[in-house]
A and B are shown apart, each in its own frame.
Chain A
Amino acid sequence: MARKPTPKLDQLEKGPWPSFVREIKKRADKNATCADLLGVLEKSYEERVGHWKHGGIVGVFGYGGGVIGRYSDVPEEFPGVAHFHTVRVNQPAGWFYTSAALRTLCDIWDRHGSGLLNMHGSTGDIIFLGTSTEHLEPIFEELTQAGFDLGGSGSDLRTPSCCCGEARCEWACYDTMAFCQEMTMHFQDELHRPAFPYKFKIKAAGCPNDCVASIARADLSVIGTWRDCIEIDQAEVAKHAAKGNDIVKDVVMNCPGKCLSWDGKALTVVQEDCKHCMHCINAMPKAVRPGKERGAALLLGSKAPIMEGALLSSVLVPFIKMEPPYDDIKALLEAIWEVWSEDGKNRERVGEFIQRVGMGNFLDAIGLDPDPSMVAHPRENPYVFYDLGGNGKE
């Protein structure tokens, strides 16, 4: 296919790292959409103006999410990208595929779109980049026949995602994939029919290493943890020491809770000071392990900066046993959604909503008792007035 020169984009092919320009060029030789995509990108770089219009009315019948409409404002110049819609496909929990499933997805996308994929987008979904409106229903039909479904987009429950958990990781404190699958199947209505003030994300991490970065990216972060004491195998600790690892410098002194001590023979821990940070476990695999009483902490409210600044999730439930079918978590989520949907403003994430109404009021509304673990940091303002109770004096 004939392509216009793209000197600015070509700069992005330099260097040893992967280049999206290089990948689009590979497709542009046989796909007019990709050739025009390069053209419109070069134009944007030259003019320093975006040429995309995002959102709109497109979708598949009955669903309010899963398709993100995208149009070019220069369709005469680049007809191949006049429509360039994105399709989000719900990924399997833990992102495990057979090669046959991957080929099926690629074949569908070759038939109906640009052939460009994100495996995976930051939402966790498989992202099909660039198709036109008339192809949306056929894509959906072929995906469902192959056992796939669309993911979330807009003001709905976004596709739940999780780390690979017990499938490959010895630190997983619960079955993240089972939890993710259950949430996805149970909340199909919330996933496909947007009814919230804004998006709501659930991400499940098997341990406090939080490989899916749920604490920064999910409205509900479900992070595996344990309630008892870490397990220490003193013989394995001795092996680490014998290999020349400096246990005091690399492990004890880096412990944020200062709960570890090493006398040259035994590693000891003061359980109540342990922050469950995973540092000693990561530093000395085999020697230190999470405790036996395992479950998860539920944290609420993180988001990236779009309407307001970034937020990290903070503790809502310090510890919960993760037992299918997770009815207690489902009930909690429904209580949160009811309060937020009733009083949340348009495009207000649940973390911003809590900041606006106050944590105390929010907890009252969802029927959860306060817990000291919910205090993210001590109050900074010393001028606090509080009700002593009884006589009305403050």
Chain B
Amino acid sequence: MADPVGVLEVADAMYKLVAEAQGQKKLKPGDLSKAAAELFGDRCDKKTCKEAIRLLIESGRCVYTYFGGSFIEIPHKEGAAN
């Protein structure tokens, strides 16, 4: 079996997905975990995905948002706050 992927690498891949989807599609944490599983296969388990999401949030690169459900997005100022 190949070496497990690092949390930082998964976080970077997730960040790329979020950045590409920004403004077009809102991604949930589950979407990111599924995408990471597809990308890295059995090198990436659920615990790593969870840690990667936590790293994204706690580094400030991403934030949680709520629009009917909870999503992960790049920090931005929403229109309503202006």
Contacts and interface: CB of A to CB of B under 8 A. Distances in A.
A59 B67 contact: no
Contact of B65 (A57, A338, A341): A57
Contacts of B69: 154-155, 197-198, 346-347
B31 to A, nearest CB: 9
Interface magnitude class on chain B:
20 to 34
A155 B63 CA distance: 14
Interface in A62-92: 62-65, 68-69, 71, 73, 83
A156 interface: yes
B20 to A, nearest CB: 19
Q: Is the interface of A mostly helix, strand, loop or mixed?
A: loop
Residue of A61, A133, A195 ringed by the most chain B CB atoms within 10 A:
A195
A130 interface: no
A193 interface: yes
A189 B47 CA distance: 12
Contacts of B50: 189, 195
Contacts, number: 77
Nearest to A69: B66
Interface residues of A, number: 33
Interface string B23-62: 0000011100100000000000010001001100110100
Interface of B, secondary structure class, is: mixed
A64 B67 CA distance: 12
A55 interface: yes
B21 to A, nearest CB: 14
A374 B15 CA distance: 43
A80 to B, nearest CB: 16
B81 interface: yes
List the 4 shortest-distance A-B pairs measured between CB atoms, nearest first. Answer: A64-B64, A194-B70, A154-B70, A155-B70
Interface of B: 28-30, 33, 46, 50, 53-54, 57-58, 60, 63-70, 73, 75-78, 80-81
Interface of A: 53, 55-59, 61-65, 68-69, 71, 73, 83, 133, 153-156, 189, 193-198, 338, 341-342, 346-347
25 contacts: A56-B65, A56-B66, A56-B67, A57-B73, A57-B75, A58-B81, A61-B58, A61-B60, A64-B57, A64-B70, A68-B66, A69-B66, A69-B78, A69-B80, A133-B81, A153-B66, A154-B64, A155-B28, A155-B69, A156-B70, A193-B29, A193-B57, A195-B29, A196-B30, A347-B68
